[in-house]
Structure 1
Amino acid sequence: MRIVSLVPHATELLYALGLGDEVVAVTHECDYPTEAQAKPQVTRDRLPPGLSAAEIDRAVRERTEAGDAIYELDEELLRELEPDLIVTQALCPVCAVSYDEVAEVARRIATCPKVIALDPKTLGETMGDIRTLAQATGRRDAGLDLVARQRSRIDRVKIAVRGADRPRVAAIEWFDPVFIGGHWTPQLIDLAGGIDVLGLPGEHSAQVMWEDVIAARPEVVVCMPCGYDAPRAHLESELYAHELRRLSARDVVAVDAAATFSRPGPRLVDGLELLAHVLHPDLVGPPAYPPIPVAL
Protein backbone atom coordinates (compact mmCIF):
# COMPACT_ATOMS: atom_id res chain seq x y z
CA MET A 1 0.00 0.00 0.00
CA ARG A 2 1.19 3.53 -0.83
CA ILE A 3 0.25 5.97 1.94
CA VAL A 4 0.49 9.75 2.15
CA SER A 5 0.18 11.36 5.58
CA LEU A 6 -0.99 14.96 5.67
CA VAL A 7 -0.87 15.45 9.43
CA PRO A 8 2.03 14.78 11.85
CA HIS A 9 0.11 12.68 14.36
CA ALA A 10 -1.04 10.36 11.56
CA THR A 11 2.58 9.94 10.49
CA GLU A 12 3.54 8.96 14.04
CA LEU A 13 0.68 6.50 14.21
CA LEU A 14 1.53 4.92 10.84
CA TYR A 15 5.08 4.30 11.98
CA ALA A 16 3.88 2.95 15.34
CA LEU A 17 1.79 0.42 13.41
CA GLY A 18 4.87 -0.70 11.47
CA LEU A 19 3.83 1.01 8.22
CA GLY A 20 6.83 3.28 7.77
CA ASP A 21 7.98 1.56 4.58
CA GLU A 22 4.56 2.10 3.03
CA VAL A 23 4.52 5.84 3.74
CA VAL A 24 5.52 7.55 0.48
CA ALA A 25 5.12 11.19 1.55
CA VAL A 26 4.50 13.37 4.59
CA THR A 27 4.10 17.04 5.49
CA HIS A 28 6.83 19.62 6.11
CA GLU A 29 6.03 19.37 9.84
CA CYS A 30 6.37 15.58 10.16
CA ASP A 31 9.54 15.34 12.24
CA TYR A 32 8.87 12.14 14.21
CA PRO A 33 10.08 9.50 13.99
CA THR A 34 13.37 10.66 12.49
CA GLU A 35 12.96 8.38 9.46
CA ALA A 36 9.90 10.36 8.40
CA GLN A 37 12.06 13.41 7.73
CA ALA A 38 13.61 11.64 4.74
CA LYS A 39 10.24 11.18 3.01
CA PRO A 40 9.07 13.54 0.21
CA GLN A 41 7.09 16.49 1.57
CA VAL A 42 3.82 17.43 -0.11
CA THR A 43 3.02 20.58 1.89
CA ARG A 44 4.61 23.87 2.80
CA ASP A 45 3.78 26.68 5.22
CA ARG A 46 2.30 29.87 3.77
CA LEU A 47 3.04 31.94 6.87
CA PRO A 48 6.41 33.75 6.92
CA PRO A 49 8.97 32.59 9.49
CA GLY A 50 9.93 34.52 12.61
CA LEU A 51 6.48 35.75 13.63
CA SER A 52 5.63 36.43 17.28
CA ALA A 53 2.76 34.68 19.05
CA ALA A 54 0.46 37.65 18.43
CA GLU A 55 1.53 37.93 14.78
CA ILE A 56 0.93 34.22 14.18
CA ASP A 57 -2.54 34.45 15.74
CA ARG A 58 -3.39 37.51 13.67
CA ALA A 59 -2.12 35.96 10.42
CA VAL A 60 -4.03 32.73 11.02
CA ARG A 61 -7.26 34.58 11.84
CA GLU A 62 -6.98 36.80 8.77
CA ARG A 63 -6.36 33.84 6.46
CA THR A 64 -9.08 31.61 7.89
CA GLU A 65 -11.64 34.43 7.87
CA ALA A 66 -10.76 35.15 4.24
CA GLY A 67 -11.02 31.48 3.34
CA ASP A 68 -7.31 31.29 2.55
CA ALA A 69 -5.27 28.22 3.45
CA ILE A 70 -2.48 28.17 6.02
CA TYR A 71 -0.68 25.38 4.17
CA GLU A 72 -0.10 24.76 0.49
CA LEU A 73 -0.51 21.28 -0.96
CA ASP A 74 1.79 20.12 -3.77
CA GLU A 75 -0.90 18.58 -5.96
CA GLU A 76 1.48 17.71 -8.78
CA LEU A 77 3.76 15.67 -6.51
CA LEU A 78 0.76 14.05 -4.87
CA ARG A 79 -0.48 12.89 -8.27
CA GLU A 80 2.94 11.54 -9.21
CA LEU A 81 3.10 9.49 -6.02
CA GLU A 82 -0.16 7.67 -6.90
CA PRO A 83 -1.18 6.90 -3.31
CA ASP A 84 -3.74 4.28 -2.35
CA LEU A 85 -4.51 5.99 0.96
CA ILE A 86 -4.32 9.60 2.17
CA VAL A 87 -4.59 10.26 5.90
CA THR A 88 -5.56 13.76 7.00
CA GLN A 89 -7.75 15.62 9.52
CA ALA A 90 -10.58 18.14 9.55
CA LEU A 91 -10.56 19.14 13.22
CA CYS A 92 -8.23 22.14 13.09
CA PRO A 93 -7.69 24.44 10.07
CA VAL A 94 -4.39 25.58 11.61
CA CYS A 95 -2.96 22.05 11.79
CA ALA A 96 -3.17 20.75 8.22
CA VAL A 97 -4.40 21.24 4.67
CA SER A 98 -8.20 21.43 4.65
CA TYR A 99 -10.06 18.15 4.29
CA ASP A 100 -12.22 19.48 1.47
CA GLU A 101 -9.13 20.41 -0.56
CA VAL A 102 -7.61 16.98 0.00
CA ALA A 103 -10.81 15.19 -0.99
CA GLU A 104 -11.10 17.27 -4.15
CA VAL A 105 -7.50 16.56 -5.16
CA ALA A 106 -7.94 12.84 -4.43
CA ARG A 107 -10.76 12.66 -6.97
CA ARG A 108 -8.32 13.82 -9.64
CA ILE A 109 -5.68 11.17 -8.90
CA ALA A 110 -5.67 8.13 -11.17
CA THR A 111 -5.45 5.64 -8.29
CA CYS A 112 -8.59 7.09 -6.64
CA PRO A 113 -7.05 6.97 -3.16
CA LYS A 114 -9.17 6.51 -0.10
CA VAL A 115 -9.13 9.54 2.21
CA ILE A 116 -9.36 9.00 5.97
CA ALA A 117 -9.71 11.92 8.39
CA LEU A 118 -8.55 11.38 11.96
CA ASP A 119 -10.26 13.96 14.18
CA PRO A 120 -10.11 12.86 17.82
CA LYS A 121 -11.33 15.23 20.52
CA THR A 122 -10.69 12.97 23.52
CA LEU A 123 -8.07 10.48 24.61
CA GLY A 124 -10.50 7.65 24.04
CA GLU A 125 -11.08 8.78 20.47
CA THR A 126 -7.33 8.69 19.82
CA MET A 127 -7.47 5.00 20.71
CA GLY A 128 -10.32 4.62 18.26
CA ASP A 129 -8.18 6.21 15.55
CA ILE A 130 -5.54 3.53 16.11
CA ARG A 131 -8.14 0.88 15.38
CA THR A 132 -9.50 2.79 12.37
CA LEU A 133 -6.11 3.15 10.72
CA ALA A 134 -5.06 -0.38 11.61
CA GLN A 135 -8.23 -1.74 10.00
CA ALA A 136 -7.76 0.36 6.85
CA THR A 137 -4.19 -0.84 6.39
CA GLY A 138 -4.53 -4.50 7.29
CA ARG A 139 -2.66 -4.08 10.59
CA ARG A 140 -5.42 -5.13 12.97
CA ASP A 141 -3.17 -7.12 15.30
CA ALA A 142 -0.60 -4.33 15.44
CA GLY A 143 -3.39 -1.90 16.30
CA LEU A 144 -4.71 -4.06 19.11
CA ASP A 145 -1.20 -4.46 20.49
CA LEU A 146 -0.55 -0.71 20.39
CA VAL A 147 -3.84 0.07 22.15
CA ALA A 148 -3.07 -2.50 24.82
CA ARG A 149 0.37 -1.03 25.46
CA GLN A 150 -1.03 2.50 25.61
CA ARG A 151 -3.75 1.51 28.06
CA SER A 152 -1.24 -0.34 30.24
CA ARG A 153 0.87 2.81 30.59
CA ILE A 154 -2.21 4.89 31.36
CA ASP A 155 -3.25 2.42 34.06
CA ARG A 156 0.20 2.56 35.67
CA VAL A 157 -0.10 6.33 36.01
CA LYS A 158 -3.63 6.10 37.42
CA ILE A 159 -2.51 3.59 40.03
CA ALA A 160 0.57 5.64 40.95
CA VAL A 161 -1.39 8.83 41.70
CA ARG A 162 -4.45 7.19 43.26
CA GLY A 163 -5.35 8.88 46.54
CA ALA A 164 -2.82 11.71 46.14
CA ASP A 165 -3.74 15.35 46.65
CA ARG A 166 -4.91 16.89 43.39
CA PRO A 167 -3.33 20.27 42.63
CA ARG A 168 -5.14 22.91 40.59
CA VAL A 169 -3.66 23.10 37.08
CA ALA A 170 -3.81 25.62 34.23
CA ALA A 171 -2.61 24.52 30.79
CA ILE A 172 -1.58 27.51 28.65
CA GLU A 173 -1.74 26.55 24.97
CA TRP A 174 -0.93 30.00 23.56
CA PHE A 175 0.24 33.26 25.10
CA ASP A 176 -0.99 36.11 22.91
CA PRO A 177 -3.93 35.91 22.99
CA VAL A 178 -4.20 33.45 25.86
CA PHE A 179 -5.64 30.04 24.99
CA ILE A 180 -6.14 27.26 27.50
CA GLY A 181 -5.82 23.61 26.52
CA GLY A 182 -8.94 21.73 25.45
CA HIS A 183 -9.77 18.44 23.73
CA TRP A 184 -7.74 15.68 25.43
CA THR A 185 -5.60 17.94 27.67
CA PRO A 186 -8.10 18.24 30.58
CA GLN A 187 -8.42 14.45 30.56
CA LEU A 188 -4.65 14.02 30.72
CA ILE A 189 -4.50 16.43 33.68
CA ASP A 190 -7.24 14.48 35.47
CA LEU A 191 -5.55 11.12 34.82
CA ALA A 192 -2.24 12.59 36.01
CA GLY A 193 -3.77 13.44 39.37
CA GLY A 194 -4.65 17.10 38.89
CA ILE A 195 -7.67 19.36 38.46
CA ASP A 196 -7.88 21.40 35.26
CA VAL A 197 -9.26 24.73 36.46
CA LEU A 198 -10.06 26.13 33.01
CA GLY A 199 -10.29 23.51 30.25
CA LEU A 200 -13.21 21.20 29.50
CA PRO A 201 -12.69 17.62 28.27
CA GLY A 202 -13.52 17.16 24.60
CA GLU A 203 -14.14 20.87 24.01
CA HIS A 204 -12.13 23.21 21.82
CA SER A 205 -9.20 25.10 23.27
CA ALA A 206 -10.67 28.41 24.46
CA GLN A 207 -9.44 31.98 24.37
CA VAL A 208 -9.48 33.64 27.80
CA MET A 209 -8.09 36.71 29.53
CA TRP A 210 -5.16 36.65 31.93
CA GLU A 211 -7.64 37.78 34.59
CA ASP A 212 -9.56 34.54 34.04
CA VAL A 213 -6.43 32.51 34.66
CA ILE A 214 -5.65 34.52 37.80
CA ALA A 215 -9.20 34.01 39.09
CA ALA A 216 -8.86 30.23 38.59
CA ARG A 217 -6.05 30.18 41.21
CA PRO A 218 -3.84 27.51 39.62
CA GLU A 219 -1.17 25.93 41.77
CA VAL A 220 0.66 24.54 38.75
CA VAL A 221 0.92 26.18 35.32
CA VAL A 222 1.96 24.07 32.34
CA CYS A 223 3.15 26.18 29.39
CA MET A 224 2.45 24.19 26.23
CA PRO A 225 2.28 26.62 23.29
CA CYS A 226 0.86 24.62 20.39
CA GLY A 227 3.46 23.05 18.11
CA TYR A 228 6.52 24.24 20.04
CA ASP A 229 9.25 22.10 21.59
CA ALA A 230 10.36 22.59 25.20
CA PRO A 231 13.15 25.15 24.59
CA ARG A 232 10.85 27.29 22.42
CA ALA A 233 8.04 26.94 24.97
CA HIS A 234 10.45 28.03 27.70
CA LEU A 235 11.48 31.06 25.64
CA GLU A 236 7.84 32.01 25.09
CA SER A 237 7.18 31.61 28.81
CA GLU A 238 10.02 33.99 29.65
CA LEU A 239 8.59 36.57 27.24
CA TYR A 240 5.35 36.49 29.26
CA ALA A 241 6.98 36.16 32.69
CA HIS A 242 5.18 39.25 33.98
CA GLU A 243 1.77 37.72 33.31
CA LEU A 244 2.83 34.33 34.66
CA ARG A 245 4.08 35.91 37.90
CA ARG A 246 0.61 37.37 38.46
CA LEU A 247 -0.78 33.83 38.73
CA SER A 248 1.17 33.17 41.95
CA ALA A 249 1.46 29.48 41.10
CA ARG A 250 3.86 27.32 43.08
CA ASP A 251 5.25 25.68 39.92
CA VAL A 252 5.46 26.87 36.31
CA VAL A 253 6.96 24.55 33.70
CA ALA A 254 7.47 24.61 29.94
CA VAL A 255 6.97 21.37 28.02
CA ASP A 256 7.48 19.90 24.57
CA ALA A 257 3.96 20.45 23.28
CA ALA A 258 4.74 19.31 19.74
CA ALA A 259 5.79 15.89 21.00
CA THR A 260 3.40 15.30 23.87
CA PHE A 261 0.26 17.45 23.72
CA SER A 262 -0.44 19.19 20.39
CA ARG A 263 -0.55 16.01 18.32
CA PRO A 264 -3.16 13.39 19.25
CA GLY A 265 -0.91 10.47 18.42
CA PRO A 266 0.76 7.71 20.45
CA ARG A 267 2.96 10.19 22.35
CA LEU A 268 -0.02 11.65 24.23
CA VAL A 269 0.74 8.94 26.78
CA ASP A 270 4.22 10.45 27.12
CA GLY A 271 2.40 13.70 27.88
CA LEU A 272 0.37 11.96 30.57
CA GLU A 273 3.52 10.61 32.19
CA LEU A 274 5.11 14.06 31.97
CA LEU A 275 2.14 15.70 33.70
CA ALA A 276 2.03 13.04 36.39
CA HIS A 277 5.71 13.65 37.16
CA VAL A 278 5.19 17.43 37.29
CA LEU A 279 2.23 17.09 39.65
CA HIS A 280 3.51 14.15 41.71
CA PRO A 281 7.31 13.84 41.33
CA ASP A 282 7.48 11.63 44.41
CA LEU A 283 5.08 9.11 42.86
CA VAL A 284 5.96 9.14 39.14
CA GLY A 285 9.50 8.98 37.81
CA PRO A 286 11.18 11.27 35.25
CA PRO A 287 9.38 11.31 31.88
CA ALA A 288 10.82 10.72 28.43
CA TYR A 289 10.30 14.42 27.64
CA PRO A 290 11.49 16.37 30.70
CA PRO A 291 9.77 19.69 31.51
CA ILE A 292 11.80 22.86 31.92
CA PRO A 293 11.09 24.88 35.08
CA VAL A 294 10.27 28.53 34.40
CA ALA A 295 12.04 30.84 36.84
CA LEU A 296 9.83 33.77 37.79
Structure 2
Amino acid sequence: MRGGDPFPQRIVCLTEEPTEVLYALGEEHRIVGISGFTVRPTRARREKPKVSAFTSAKIGAILELEPDLVIGFSDIQADIARDLIKAGVEVWISNHRSVAGILGYIRRLGAMVGASAKAERYAGEAEAHIVAIEAAAARLPRRPRVYFEEWDEPPISGIRWVAELIRIAGGDDVFPELAEKSLARDRIIADGMEIVRRQPDLILGSWCGKKFRPDRVASRPGWQAIPAVRNGQLHEIKSPIILQPGPAALFDGLDALHRRIAEAANASPDP
Protein backbone atom coordinates (compact mmCIF):
# COMPACT_ATOMS: atom_id res chain seq x y z
CA MET A 1 0.00 0.00 0.00
CA ARG A 2 1.35 3.40 -1.01
CA GLY A 3 -0.26 6.77 -0.39
CA GLY A 4 -3.30 5.17 1.21
CA ASP A 5 -4.24 3.19 -1.93
CA PRO A 6 -4.93 -0.42 -0.88
CA PHE A 7 -4.45 -1.74 -4.42
CA PRO A 8 -1.23 -2.51 -6.32
CA GLN A 9 0.41 0.65 -7.63
CA ARG A 10 3.59 -0.70 -9.22
CA ILE A 11 2.64 -3.54 -11.57
CA VAL A 12 4.94 -5.36 -13.97
CA CYS A 13 3.13 -7.15 -16.83
CA LEU A 14 5.05 -10.11 -18.23
CA THR A 15 2.62 -10.53 -21.15
CA GLU A 16 0.51 -8.22 -23.25
CA GLU A 17 -3.00 -8.99 -22.01
CA PRO A 18 -2.74 -7.41 -18.52
CA THR A 19 -1.24 -4.30 -20.10
CA GLU A 20 -4.09 -4.07 -22.61
CA VAL A 21 -6.72 -4.59 -19.92
CA LEU A 22 -5.24 -2.04 -17.51
CA TYR A 23 -4.99 0.60 -20.25
CA ALA A 24 -8.59 -0.10 -21.29
CA LEU A 25 -9.70 0.38 -17.70
CA GLY A 26 -7.79 3.65 -17.35
CA GLU A 27 -5.47 2.08 -14.79
CA GLU A 28 -2.27 2.29 -16.84
CA HIS A 29 -0.65 4.57 -14.25
CA ARG A 30 -0.16 1.46 -12.12
CA ILE A 31 2.08 -0.21 -14.73
CA VAL A 32 5.85 0.24 -14.29
CA GLY A 33 7.13 -2.45 -16.68
CA ILE A 34 5.87 -4.50 -19.64
CA SER A 35 6.77 -7.36 -21.96
CA GLY A 36 8.93 -6.57 -24.97
CA PHE A 37 6.34 -8.38 -27.10
CA THR A 38 3.62 -5.89 -26.19
CA VAL A 39 2.08 -4.17 -29.21
CA ARG A 40 -1.34 -3.22 -27.78
CA PRO A 41 -1.93 -0.48 -27.02
CA THR A 42 0.82 1.07 -29.12
CA ARG A 43 1.43 3.87 -26.64
CA ALA A 44 2.45 1.34 -23.98
CA ARG A 45 5.70 0.68 -25.83
CA ARG A 46 6.54 4.38 -25.66
CA GLU A 47 5.51 4.89 -22.08
CA LYS A 48 6.67 1.80 -20.19
CA PRO A 49 10.07 0.09 -19.85
CA LYS A 50 10.32 -3.37 -21.40
CA VAL A 51 11.66 -5.91 -18.91
CA SER A 52 10.68 -9.36 -20.22
CA ALA A 53 10.21 -11.61 -23.19
CA PHE A 54 7.83 -14.56 -22.82
CA THR A 55 10.04 -17.32 -21.47
CA SER A 56 12.68 -15.03 -19.98
CA ALA A 57 12.82 -11.82 -17.99
CA LYS A 58 15.32 -9.33 -16.63
CA ILE A 59 14.85 -10.22 -13.00
CA GLY A 60 17.25 -7.52 -11.80
CA ALA A 61 15.54 -4.85 -13.86
CA ILE A 62 12.14 -5.95 -12.54
CA LEU A 63 13.35 -5.79 -8.93
CA GLU A 64 14.76 -2.30 -9.52
CA LEU A 65 11.23 -1.17 -10.41
CA GLU A 66 10.09 -2.24 -6.92
CA PRO A 67 6.85 -3.85 -8.08
CA ASP A 68 4.11 -4.67 -5.61
CA LEU A 69 2.59 -7.09 -8.15
CA VAL A 70 3.90 -8.98 -11.17
CA ILE A 71 1.37 -10.49 -13.58
CA GLY A 72 2.21 -13.32 -15.96
CA PHE A 73 0.57 -16.10 -17.91
CA SER A 74 0.81 -19.88 -17.98
CA ASP A 75 3.17 -22.57 -16.76
CA ILE A 76 5.70 -21.42 -19.35
CA GLN A 77 6.50 -18.48 -17.05
CA ALA A 78 6.84 -20.66 -13.96
CA ASP A 79 10.61 -20.16 -13.70
CA ILE A 80 10.26 -16.38 -13.88
CA ALA A 81 7.56 -16.49 -11.22
CA ARG A 82 9.71 -18.71 -8.99
CA ASP A 83 12.66 -16.33 -9.13
CA LEU A 84 10.48 -13.33 -8.34
CA ILE A 85 8.69 -15.10 -5.50
CA LYS A 86 12.05 -16.06 -4.01
CA ALA A 87 12.96 -12.37 -4.14
CA GLY A 88 9.85 -11.55 -2.13
CA VAL A 89 7.66 -10.24 -4.96
CA GLU A 90 3.93 -10.98 -5.14
CA VAL A 91 3.15 -12.76 -8.41
CA TRP A 92 -0.11 -13.66 -10.13
CA ILE A 93 0.11 -16.22 -12.94
CA SER A 94 -3.16 -16.72 -14.77
CA ASN A 95 -3.72 -19.83 -16.86
CA HIS A 96 -6.98 -19.25 -18.70
CA ARG A 97 -7.45 -20.90 -22.11
CA SER A 98 -11.05 -20.18 -23.13
CA VAL A 99 -13.31 -17.30 -24.09
CA ALA A 100 -15.05 -17.53 -20.72
CA GLY A 101 -11.61 -17.54 -19.13
CA ILE A 102 -10.65 -14.29 -20.90
CA LEU A 103 -13.85 -12.62 -19.72
CA GLY A 104 -13.22 -13.84 -16.18
CA TYR A 105 -9.63 -12.61 -16.37
CA ILE A 106 -10.78 -9.08 -17.23
CA ARG A 107 -13.10 -9.08 -14.23
CA ARG A 108 -10.51 -10.52 -11.82
CA LEU A 109 -7.79 -8.13 -12.89
CA GLY A 110 -10.17 -5.21 -12.55
CA ALA A 111 -11.02 -6.29 -9.02
CA MET A 112 -7.34 -6.58 -8.13
CA VAL A 113 -6.77 -2.90 -8.90
CA GLY A 114 -10.02 -1.60 -7.43
CA ALA A 115 -11.72 -1.11 -10.79
CA SER A 116 -14.45 -3.77 -10.61
CA ALA A 117 -17.17 -1.56 -12.07
CA LYS A 118 -15.02 -0.51 -15.04
CA ALA A 119 -13.96 -4.11 -15.61
CA GLU A 120 -17.56 -5.27 -15.56
CA ARG A 121 -18.48 -2.68 -18.19
CA TYR A 122 -15.51 -3.65 -20.35
CA ALA A 123 -16.27 -7.38 -20.08
CA GLY A 124 -19.89 -6.56 -20.89
CA GLU A 125 -18.78 -4.77 -24.06
CA ALA A 126 -16.84 -7.87 -25.09
CA GLU A 127 -19.83 -10.11 -24.38
CA ALA A 128 -22.10 -7.85 -26.43
CA HIS A 129 -19.62 -7.96 -29.30
CA ILE A 130 -19.58 -11.76 -29.15
CA VAL A 131 -23.38 -11.85 -29.28
CA ALA A 132 -23.40 -9.51 -32.29
CA ILE A 133 -20.91 -11.67 -34.18
CA GLU A 134 -22.86 -14.82 -33.31
CA ALA A 135 -25.99 -13.20 -34.75
CA ALA A 136 -24.15 -12.26 -37.94
CA ALA A 137 -22.69 -15.76 -38.19
CA ALA A 138 -26.15 -17.30 -37.88
CA ARG A 139 -27.13 -15.52 -41.10
CA LEU A 140 -24.33 -17.07 -43.16
CA PRO A 141 -25.45 -19.53 -45.85
CA ARG A 142 -23.17 -22.28 -44.53
CA ARG A 143 -20.54 -23.02 -41.90
CA PRO A 144 -17.10 -23.46 -43.49
CA ARG A 145 -14.72 -26.08 -42.13
CA VAL A 146 -11.69 -24.22 -40.77
CA TYR A 147 -8.12 -25.32 -40.19
CA PHE A 148 -6.26 -22.85 -37.99
CA GLU A 149 -2.47 -23.28 -37.97
CA GLU A 150 -0.58 -21.80 -35.04
CA TRP A 151 2.81 -23.02 -36.26
CA ASP A 152 4.08 -24.67 -39.42
CA GLU A 153 7.10 -26.83 -38.58
CA PRO A 154 5.63 -29.01 -37.19
CA PRO A 155 2.00 -28.09 -37.86
CA ILE A 156 0.23 -27.07 -34.65
CA SER A 157 -3.50 -26.45 -34.59
CA GLY A 158 -5.26 -23.66 -32.70
CA ILE A 159 -5.66 -23.44 -28.94
CA ARG A 160 -9.04 -23.60 -27.22
CA TRP A 161 -10.01 -19.92 -27.27
CA VAL A 162 -9.19 -19.77 -30.99
CA ALA A 163 -11.39 -22.78 -31.74
CA GLU A 164 -14.20 -21.23 -29.68
CA LEU A 165 -13.91 -17.92 -31.53
CA ILE A 166 -13.99 -19.76 -34.86
CA ARG A 167 -17.31 -21.33 -33.81
CA ILE A 168 -18.65 -17.96 -32.66
CA ALA A 169 -17.58 -16.41 -35.98
CA GLY A 170 -19.51 -18.99 -37.99
CA GLY A 171 -17.02 -21.75 -38.78
CA ASP A 172 -16.22 -25.24 -37.51
CA ASP A 173 -12.71 -26.07 -36.38
CA VAL A 174 -11.57 -29.29 -38.06
CA PHE A 175 -9.48 -30.33 -35.05
CA PRO A 176 -11.86 -29.79 -32.11
CA GLU A 177 -10.30 -32.64 -30.14
CA LEU A 178 -6.88 -30.95 -30.21
CA ALA A 179 -8.23 -27.54 -29.22
CA GLU A 180 -8.86 -28.89 -25.74
CA LYS A 181 -5.12 -29.49 -25.27
CA SER A 182 -3.56 -26.54 -23.44
CA LEU A 183 0.05 -27.30 -24.41
CA ALA A 184 1.26 -26.66 -27.96
CA ARG A 185 3.15 -29.94 -28.08
CA ASP A 186 -0.13 -31.78 -27.58
CA ARG A 187 -1.63 -30.03 -30.61
CA ILE A 188 1.07 -31.12 -33.06
CA ILE A 189 -0.36 -32.81 -36.15
CA ALA A 190 2.20 -35.51 -36.87
CA ASP A 191 0.58 -36.63 -40.13
CA GLY A 192 0.00 -33.69 -42.46
CA MET A 193 -2.29 -35.84 -44.60
CA GLU A 194 -4.75 -35.88 -41.71
CA ILE A 195 -5.35 -32.20 -42.45
CA VAL A 196 -6.03 -33.13 -46.07
CA ARG A 197 -8.48 -35.82 -44.98
CA ARG A 198 -10.44 -33.31 -42.90
CA GLN A 199 -11.03 -31.17 -46.02
CA PRO A 200 -11.05 -27.62 -44.63
CA ASP A 201 -12.83 -24.98 -46.70
CA LEU A 202 -10.68 -22.27 -45.12
CA ILE A 203 -7.11 -22.27 -43.84
CA LEU A 204 -6.10 -19.54 -41.40
CA GLY A 205 -2.50 -19.16 -40.30
CA SER A 206 -1.03 -17.29 -37.38
CA TRP A 207 2.59 -18.30 -37.07
CA CYS A 208 3.67 -16.58 -33.89
CA GLY A 209 6.75 -14.49 -34.60
CA LYS A 210 6.87 -14.93 -38.38
CA LYS A 211 4.75 -14.15 -41.41
CA PHE A 212 2.25 -16.72 -42.64
CA ARG A 213 3.10 -17.95 -46.14
CA PRO A 214 0.00 -19.14 -48.04
CA ASP A 215 2.11 -20.15 -51.05
CA ARG A 216 4.27 -22.40 -48.92
CA VAL A 217 1.22 -24.01 -47.33
CA ALA A 218 -0.50 -24.56 -50.68
CA SER A 219 2.60 -26.31 -52.07
CA ARG A 220 2.69 -29.00 -49.39
CA PRO A 221 2.52 -32.49 -50.90
CA GLY A 222 -1.05 -33.63 -51.42
CA TRP A 223 -2.61 -30.35 -50.33
CA GLN A 224 -4.15 -29.57 -53.75
CA ALA A 225 -6.86 -31.99 -52.66
CA ILE A 226 -7.98 -29.53 -49.97
CA PRO A 227 -10.93 -27.29 -50.94
CA ALA A 228 -9.32 -24.26 -49.25
CA VAL A 229 -6.19 -24.65 -51.37
CA ARG A 230 -8.07 -25.18 -54.64
CA ASN A 231 -10.18 -22.09 -53.97
CA GLY A 232 -7.40 -19.86 -52.68
CA GLN A 233 -8.93 -19.60 -49.20
CA LEU A 234 -5.67 -19.28 -47.24
CA HIS A 235 -5.27 -16.18 -45.08
CA GLU A 236 -3.21 -14.81 -42.24
CA ILE A 237 -4.68 -13.70 -38.92
CA LYS A 238 -2.07 -11.51 -37.23
CA SER A 239 -0.82 -13.23 -34.08
CA PRO A 240 -1.08 -10.17 -31.77
CA ILE A 241 -4.86 -10.11 -32.23
CA ILE A 242 -5.57 -13.82 -31.85
CA LEU A 243 -2.82 -15.67 -29.93
CA GLN A 244 -2.96 -13.52 -26.79
CA PRO A 245 -5.66 -14.65 -24.32
CA GLY A 246 -6.86 -11.11 -23.78
CA PRO A 247 -9.24 -8.47 -25.14
CA ALA A 248 -7.62 -8.32 -28.57
CA ALA A 249 -8.89 -11.81 -29.36
CA LEU A 250 -12.46 -10.94 -28.37
CA PHE A 251 -12.59 -7.78 -30.48
CA ASP A 252 -10.14 -7.48 -33.41
CA GLY A 253 -9.33 -11.18 -33.52
CA LEU A 254 -12.98 -12.23 -33.62
CA ASP A 255 -13.71 -9.61 -36.28
CA ALA A 256 -10.85 -10.88 -38.45
CA LEU A 257 -12.04 -14.48 -38.09
CA HIS A 258 -15.62 -13.59 -38.96
CA ARG A 259 -14.55 -11.58 -42.01
CA ARG A 260 -12.61 -14.51 -43.47
CA ILE A 261 -15.22 -17.08 -42.50
CA ALA A 262 -17.99 -14.98 -44.10
CA GLU A 263 -15.96 -14.70 -47.30
CA ALA A 264 -15.57 -18.48 -47.42
CA ALA A 265 -19.22 -19.08 -46.55
CA ASN A 266 -20.41 -16.79 -49.32
CA ALA A 267 -18.03 -18.13 -51.94
CA SER A 268 -19.22 -20.73 -54.42
CA PRO A 269 -19.06 -24.20 -52.81
CA ASP A 270 -16.20 -26.38 -53.95
CA PRO A 271 -17.34 -28.58 -56.84
TM-score range relative to shorter protein: 0.7 to 0.9
After TM superposition, give the deviation of residue 252 of structure 1 in Å: 1.2
Q: Which amino acid aligns with 1:134?
A: G
For 1:115 and 1:216, locate their aligned partners in 2 and report how far apart those are by CA, in whole Å: 42
Counterpart AA for 1:82: E
* Structure 1 unmatched ranges of 5 or more: 45-69, 285-296
Residue by residue over 1:166-195, the C-alpha shift from the partner in whole angstroms, topping out at 9 and shown as x without a partner, is 111111111111111122111111111111
CA distance in 2, matches of 1:33, 1:83: 21
- Contact map agreement 1:160 1:283 (CA 8 A) in 2: no
Report the TM-score when normalising by structure 1.
Answer: 0.77
Q: Partner letter of residue 257 of structure 2?
A: L
- Which of 142, 161, 176 aligns to 2:137? It is 161
Alignment-mate amino acid for residue 248 of structure 2: R
Q: Which runs of 4+ in 1 moved over 6 A?
A: none
Secondary structure at the counterpart of residue 188 of structure 2: strand
Aligned ranges for residues 141-220 of structure 1 at < 5 Å?
Answer: 141-164=117-140, 165-200=142-177, 201-204=179-182, 205=184, 206-208=187-189, 209-220=191-202
1:35 equivalent in alignment to 2:36: no
| Equivalent residue letter for 2:245 | P
TM-score, normalising length: structure 2: 0.83
1:246 positional shift: 4.7
Measure, in 2, the Cα distance between the counterparts of 1:40 and 1:29. Answer: 12
Q: Is 1:136 aligned to 2:144, yes or no?
A: no
Match of 1:257 in 2: 239
- Distance 1:211-1:281 versus aligned 2 partners, 3 A rule: closer
Correspondent of 1:279 among 252, 261, 265 = 261
Deviations 1:234-277 (A, max 9, x none): xx33333302545331311112122x211011011221121111
Is 1:86 the equivalent of 2:66?
Answer: no
Structure 1 residue 280: Cα displacement: 1.4
Match of 1:126 in 2: 102
Residue segments in structure 2 that go unaligned for 5+ positions in a row: 1-8, 267-271
- Where does residue 25 of structure 1 map in the other structure? 33
Q: Deviations over 1:193-227 (max 9, x none)?
A: 11111134443341112201101000111111124
Q: Check the 8 A contact 1:181/1:199 in 2, yes or no.
A: no
For residues 163 and 154 of structure 1, the distance between their equivalents in structure 2, rounded to whole angstroms, comes to 15
Corresponding position of 1:266: 247
Give the partner amino acid of 2:136. Answer: A
**Equivalent residue pairs, number:** 245
The C-alpha deviation readout for 1:139-170, integer Å capped at 9, x for no partner, is 10111011110011111011112153111111
Contact 1:11 1:26 in 2 (8 A): yes
Bigger relative contact order, structure 1 or 2, given CA contacts below 8 A and separation 6+? 2
For the residue of structure 2 that corresponds to 1:280, the secondary structure is: helix
Question: In 2, are the aligned partners of 1:220 and 1:252 still within 8 Å (CA)?
Answer: yes
- C-alpha separation in 1, matches of 2:36 and 2:139: 44
Query: Within 1, Cα distance between the matches of 2:63 and 2:159?
Result: 36
Query: Corresponding residue for 1:288?
Result: none
Contact 2:145 2:200 in 1 (8 A): yes
Change (3 A) 1:199 1:173: farther
Query: Is the Cα contact below 8 Å between 1:170 and 1:221 reproduced in 2?
Result: yes
CA distance in 2, matches of 1:179, 1:255: 15
CA contact (8 A) 2:74 2:93 kept: yes
